Amino acid sequence: MAAMKTLVVDHPLVAHKLTTLRDVRTDSPTFRRLADELVTLLAYEATRDVRVTEATVDTPVAPAHGVRLARPAPLVVPILRAGLGMLDGMTRLLPTAEVGFLGMIRDEGTLKAQTYATRLPEDLSGRQCYVLDPMLATGGTLAAAIELLFARGAEDVTAICLLAAPEGLAYMEKVFAGSEAPVRVVTAALDERLNELGYIVPGLGDAGDRLYGVV
Ligand code: URA
């Protein structure tokens, strides 16, 4: 049985970008650019186990043995709305990945996740999936998204989150404790806690609002 694994990426560039991202004075255009750059750095770590197959190419001098990304291509799944702000940063590193979309919203009263849009291949057998969700807060949305991918046959799922709360990670660990398929969470920081409104403390506020403005 594969327990959930969490990686908090410890790198000065990640910490530097995250600090500016958190700053309440950072405007939306800067926030979008920094989120994009940060995701690319996290994606580098998150794709450490991406499947490859051996390949040989001819250099101008001699044959060279190397690798190429295996088929079927990885599937990247941003969770709308805020996950969209992470998509370009991810596909820059994995340009051949396919992209599916999941629209999920959490009820601010119950903090439970509801799915309002699904645009994913029906059959995900053998697919490695990368879910993009900036804030792992209660874990409800992310766990529901990953369960949906496993229900369609996904082989393993790696979630990339800008920030995580201990409560969210504990919930995910509980949900996926008995999962046969591997689940990994890669994040730039593990914050202190959730507040009574379900916000990560100190966090960065509402990621969707900071990316795209208040709705
Ligand atoms: N979602 C956000 O955008 N921010 C939080 O702090 C928690 C959930």
The pTM score is: 0.94
CATH architecture of 5-55+67-196: 3-Layer(aba) Sandwich (3.40)
- Say if residues 113 and 146 touch (Cβ distance below 8 Å): no
Check if the beta carbon of residue 130 is closer than 8 Å to that of residue 75: yes
Q: Report how far ligand 1's centroid is from the alpha carbon of 122 (Å).
A: 29
Asked if residue 203 has pLDDT above 80, the reply is: yes
| Segments making up each domain of the chain, as ranges | 5-55+67-196
> Please, what is the average pLDDT of the chain?
95
Q: pLDDT tens digits for 70-118? A: 999 999 999 998 999 999 999 999 999 999 999 988 777 776 788 999 9
**Residue 3: its pLDDT value, please?**
79
Is residue 156 within 8 Å of residue 181, measured between CB atoms? yes
Q: For position 213, what pLDDT does the model report?
A: 85
Q: What residue numbers does the annotated binding site for 5-phospho-alpha-D-ribose 1-diphosphate cover? A: 81, 106, 133-141, 206
Between helix 12-22 and helix 28-46 the angle, nearest 10°, is: 150
What residues are paired with 93 via a beta bridge?
Answer: none
CA of 214 to the centre of ligand 1 (A): 13
At 185, which helix (H) or strand (E)? Answer: strand 183-190
pLDDT of residue 215: 67
- 209: Cβ below 6 Å to ligand 1? no
Confidence (pLDDT) at 111: 66
Annotated binding site for uracil: which residue ranges? Answer: 200, 205-207
Q: Does residue 195 carry a pLDDT above 80?
A: yes
Per-residue pLDDT, averaged over 35-64, amounts to 97
pLDDT of 154 strictly over 90: yes
Segment 187-198 shows an average pLDDT of: 97
**Which of 79, 135, 194 has most ligand 1 atoms within 8 Å of CB, for mutation?**
135
209 is catalytic: yes
Q: Which residue, among 77, 78, 45, 32, has the nearest Cα to 204 in the 3D structure?
A: 32
pLDDT of residue 174: 97
- 110 in catalytic set: yes
Residue 113: per-residue pLDDT: 83
Q: pLDDT tens digit string along 22-31?
A: 999 999 999 9
Residue 106 annotated in active site = yes
